Amino acid sequence: MTNGLKWNSGYQSISIIQIVLVICLIISLPLWKTKQEASESSTQEIKSISLKEALKLPGAKAILTAFFCYCSLEA
């Protein structure tokens, strides 16, 4: 707008950027499938943990504190 352009030129430039991103994602779809097939071939057993076990992980309490501080600042 400071270069003499109208307000809708900003929307137009953002839409062009988003279209380019979508095209890049569509082109990269075959890469995702090969990665998924490779991860399925190396099957690992996944163990779920409880909330108490998750809180005992190193750094979990600090991350939760930082998250709640961020949310309160944003609110």
How do residues 1-10 score in pLDDT, each as one tens digit?
567 778 788 8
| Tens-place pLDDT, residues 15-36 | 999 999 999 999 998 888 776 6
- Rounded to an integer, the average pLDDT of 48-71 is 91
CA distance 40 to 46: 13
Q: Does an H or E element contain 29, and which?
A: helix 29-41
How many Å apart are CA 68 and CA 46, to the nearest integer?
A: 28
- The residue behind tokens 């430039």 is 13
Q: What residues contact 61, with CB distance under 8 A and at least 6 apart?
A: 55
> φ and ψ at 39, to 5 degrees?
-70, -30
Q: Which residue has the higher pLDDT, 52 or 2?
A: 52
This model's pTM is above 0.85: no
